[in-house]
Amino acid sequence: MCADVFGVPTVRLQSGEGVGLGGAIQAGWVWSNKQGSGTTLAEICERLVQAVETSRNEPNANASQVYSDALNRTSEIRKAFSEAKLI
């Protein structure tokens, strides 16, 4: 389903704590750059993130289009409400 929503392939991480891992990676990247290391986010992820390739999901083009259309419609409605000063 995530692959359909975002329109890109998805894979499960080896770690069951993907959100926590992502936060730790982001914090580590900021800290290391503050120290002047110049380490890129991609370099850190390459060392720490392990994907389970057998869990790969490809997006369903029809489902992805439904989600994309819904997002566009939601954006149009929000813009209309904003212009009418309803939000």
Contact 67, 18 (CB under 8 A): no
pLDDT for the residue numbered 16: 86
The pTM assigned to this predicted structure is 0.67
Q: Give, for all 87 residues of the chain, the pLDDT tens digit.
A: 899 999 999 999 998 898 999 999 999 999 999 999 989 999 999 999 999 999 999 999 999 999 999 999 999 999 999 999 999
- Kindly state the tokens that stand for 31: 């800290």
Domain boundaries, the chain: 2-83
